[in-house]
Amino acid sequence: MTIDIAVRRLPHAAGLPLPAYATPGAAGMDLLAAVDAPVTVAPGERALIPTGLTIALPPGHELQVRPRSGLALRHGIVLPNSPGTVDEDYRGELQVILLNAGDTPFTVERGMRIAQAILAPVLRATWREVETLDDTARGEGGFGSTGHR
């Protein structure tokens, strides 16, 4: 199933391709850096990288922004708030927070694939306060209590 996302290209994204799936089976679309000049991110530092795109998501959907595995493996580049969430009512520029968890500086160049975006449905919930919860075998055990370390 294909869902239409309205997108507006900002001037600093001129000439860059829109997000697209790299293969027919890909879940994520690559987001590209719309920087005017290279941005170097030192080890341990963060940088906010623009994509030059604003979008209008269809009702009942979010756009999840996730790291690219190749950047994480080869350079230690991760997204500290992964997955990032773009809400359906956000109309500002899509930007990606990159964190250099590696040990060498990393330079972001114009048009570089910096993250991937995944369109996902959103379920709405309401909270219903109760006096007790049903019992389970796990109970209150957490943080490694299931024996899998």
The amino acid that residue 15 corresponds to is G
Query: pTM here?
Result: 0.88
What is residue 139's predicted lDDT score, i.e. its pLDDT? 84
Per the structure, the complete domain to which residue 115 belongs is given by: 28-121
CA atoms within 13 Å, Cβ hemisphere of 149: 2
Residue 90: give its domain's CATH number: 2.70.40.10
Contact 46, 80 (CB under 8 A): yes
Q: Are 48 and 109 in contact (CB under 8 A)?
A: no
Q: How many domains does the chain have?
A: 1
133 domain-assigned: no
110 domain residue, yes or no: yes
pLDDT tens, position by position, 12-52: 999 999 999 999 999 999 999 999 999 999 999 999 999 99
The answer to whether residue 136 sits within a structural domain is no
Q: Identify whether 112 is part of a domain.
A: yes
Answer whether residue 134 is part of any domain. no
**8 within some domain:** no
| 97 found inside a domain | yes
In 3D space, the residue among 138, 4, 21, 30 whose CA is nearest the CA of residue 94 turns out to be: 30
DSSP at 129: -
CA 116/CA 94 separation, integer angstroms:
12
Give Cα 1 to chain centroid, integer Å: 21
The residue whose two tokens read 């199933």 is: 1
Q: Does residue 99 form part of some domain?
A: yes
